[in-house]
Structure formats: structure tokens, C-alpha cells
Structure 1
């Protein structure tokens, strides 16, 4: 085994990501749950659910646990839940913007809760078989350490079919749906905005409806592009493994280009579960205001205490 030249970088990156991602997602959960961001409740449900699954991804993926097979199932399940909740949110926005008649029936709190429950449940059911694909990476004094994928995973047809199914469901189908839904949504918004400008003429410059549509485009594009860009290497790695017939995991040589590619894929995946809070902060004025209040709240309490002590 070569010297782990890149090992220290990975050892620093994952804890640092946890230090940033865990509190960032907690902040998003708190702010969105308070319902003061000017969003309808069913939209808030989707965003809170995404934040919760992202939080669970950060907690389960960047900490070592003795039962790494169980941990892997939890990581994959929460990751898939986050991805498909992003798809569900994108579809909800597509219906809300493009189909006003269907909006009153579909875009409701009851539907949002039902969709969220189905997505989370199916995500866990889909990933349970992964528990049976792992074996110890090595055994030291009779104690199994870490996890390695069994060689049978690459040779038995049923496992190969399952591997294709897993990757088609996440992320190939989400890639397709998010691209399609965003393209249709943006086309509808652009056409509706043009028609509104023709009707309102010069008054359209300050039209709040057009401004709201632009915000919708920004939020949709930002969340979607975040997903597409940070998952692109995952798709590339899957295709690479299929073309070259190499294993997903090749050992612990941190100078191996394949391992570097694998770790880069993992790092970008985890990053996609870390930065939605920052996306909301950039795209939503009311979210930024609530974030400022939350961050300054402890200082406001301390200041009030000093003032009370001074007055007494």
C-alpha cells in the first residue's frame, strides 16, 4: 500500500463538511418550520422534508459506525429520499405554475404529506438489499473492520440487475425528470410573461406577478442545477465502472486515481446535501431576514440581560 498522500485531505474534508452541513440544515429546518418565509404550508413541508433528509445524510455519512453495512443502507436511503423529494418539489412547482386547475387539487398540505411519506418509505425499502452486499474489508484480531462489496455483486445476474435498477432510480430518472420539468416550467413562465407584457405594455416593468415568476425561475434553477452538477460525477463513475468492468471500490490506496475519483464523487454528493440552506439564503429575501434574526437572537438576549442589570 502506498503512502496516503490524499488521506489527510479526506480526513479533514468530511468532518469539516459535517461541522458546516449539520448546523446549516438544522438552521434551515428551524427557519422553515416557523412558517415565516412567505411560502405556503405545503411548499414548506417539501423544503423541511428535504432539509431533514439532508441533515440525516450528513449525520450518517460522515461519521464512522461499527455497523457500516447498516450505516450504508441509512446513507443510501436518506440520500435517495433527498433526491426524490427534490423531484417531488420540482413537480409541485411545475403543477402550481403551469396547471392552475390541477393546482387546487394537487398543491395541498395533504398531498405534500402523502408524497413525502411515500418517498421516504420507498427510499428505505429500495436500499435494504444493500445490507447483504457487504463483507469486512479486513479482520484484525477477529474483529471485522469497515466494509467491502462482495465480488458476487459484480457477477450474479440478480445483483447486476439490482445495481442497474438502483442507478436508474437514482440519479438517472431524477436527472431526466428535473431537466424536463424545469424546461417545461421555464417555457410556460416565459410565454406567460410575454403575454402579460403585451397586455400591460409599459406598466409591466414593475409588475409584481412577473417579478414573482422570475424568483420562481431562480429558485427552481438554483436547486436543480445544484443537484445536476454535484451528481454528474456519480453518473460518470457508474458509466466508467460499467464500461471498464472495474469494481466500485479498489482498496485504500489514496494515490490511486480510481479511489480519488470515487472519493470526489462521494464528496460532491455530500456537498449537495449541505448547501440548500445557502441556496435559500441567496434566493429568498424572507429566509435571509429570518436567518439574521435567528443568528442575532442570542446576542439580543445577552444585550437585554446587560441592560436589565444596568437598570437595576
Structure 2
């Protein structure tokens, strides 16, 4: 491995160029797979592997442990543990006196909570944000939650309350369209429409066909491609989150570092609650 053996903390990760981050993520995935395959007790594969790019991007942009990252369904945090000084002990995962499968306050200063299984992160992040504001702090607080957990009552309560209070937190929706079982909620149906909405795609294709027939149309198309991210944010239906008081960013490719890092930097600069909708592939 080229990069991972040299990463003992997020400070080491920040020394790399953005172009090197995909290779770091690939090394983390291979490390997780080999470690779990060799382990006498095993572990989770799908969720942790799908969240690797999110964890790498978060630690590349944020200043943990000052900034707080709150994980929902804690095994999303495998990459987080590996990047925060626990790589050499990761083989003890889920074993007596070994690395815990979920974040654990007593295990590392980078772990912000002892999470329950699901739907807890937004409320916990809101608690950190309220404490920060009372103490006059300036740290960034992020909740990383999957689409399966977002439909839970506690998650929705936290989502509503943070929007109502206009709290400066970032909620990252890790949307892989998978959970323990199929999700039949109204919110899950809404997210499926956001992922697959044809408006943006069809509108862009139709406009490009028209512009190609006009003098100078190729130039217009080139400019339009550069503005695509902005156009997408206007035509893709993120309105529900906006109505709850959030600045909505997405949907973005949760495995594309240019999109992830741009979204995180934008979210940090916005006052108030932000929801980044990152579409990922589990596994």
C-alpha cells in the first residue's frame, strides 16, 4: 500500500492532493476487506465500504477532533477509525479489549458519541451544536445518516428541531437506497423520486439538442455543462428539505471527491442547517 501506512491521523491525510484521495479510499477498502476476512469474528462489509469516500472527504475538509462528526449506525465509521490512529489495532475489531465496532467516546478523541443502532445522529449533532453556541464556539458539527435511518422518528424529530432552531449543523444523507429491509415510508418514496427524477436529465438533453442546431450553440452547451451543478440544484426536487429550513445541496455523487469536497466547503460557509444529499453504492 502506498498511502495508508503513512496516515496516522487526519493531519497526514491533509498533506495529500485531492487527486490522490481515490487511491487512499481504495487502500482503505482493501484493508477493511482483508482484515475482516482474516478476523475470527468478522464484521460488516456493505455499509462501511460504501461510506469510505464520505469518511475520507470529511477528514480531508474538517478539522477533527475540534470539528465533530456524529455517525448514525456506527459501523459506517470503520474508515473513520482507520484514519484516526486505529489502523494498527483494527484487526482487534469486535474482540475483547479490542477496537469497538461503533464509535466509542472512551476509545478516541475523534469519537463524539456512543451511538445507538440507528436514527440517533441528528439529535446528537444538534446537542453538540447547541452546546457550541452556548459556549461561543465555532466548530463544525456534522451528522452522517443513511436513508434507512432518516425515516426513524428520532431522526425526523432532530431534523425538524434543527431546522426550526436554524442551528448551524451539516446533515449528510448517505443515500444508498438500502437498509435491513425495504423501506415503505413516504420519505423513502420521496428520496427515490429525487434520485431518479427525469426532469434534470431530460431538460438538459432537450436543450442541448436545440442549441446544437443554432449558430454558436456548441459554445452555449459548453457553458451550460460548467453550470450543470447549479442547474441540477434548481430542478432536482430537494424542496422538502428547504421547507424544513435546510439549505439543500444535491443529489451529488458520494464517491466523487470534487463534488464531495466542494459540497462540504460550501456547507461550512453557510450559516444555518445544511443537508448534503450524497448518493452512494453500498459495498
Q: TM-score, normalised by structure 1?
A: 0.26
Question: Higher relative contact order at CA 8 Å, sep ≥6: structure 1 or structure 2?
Answer: 1
Q: TM-score, normalised by structure 2?
A: 0.27
Question: More helix per residue: 1 or 2?
Answer: 1
Question: More strand per residue: 1 or 2?
Answer: 2
Q: Which has the larger radius of gyration?
A: 1
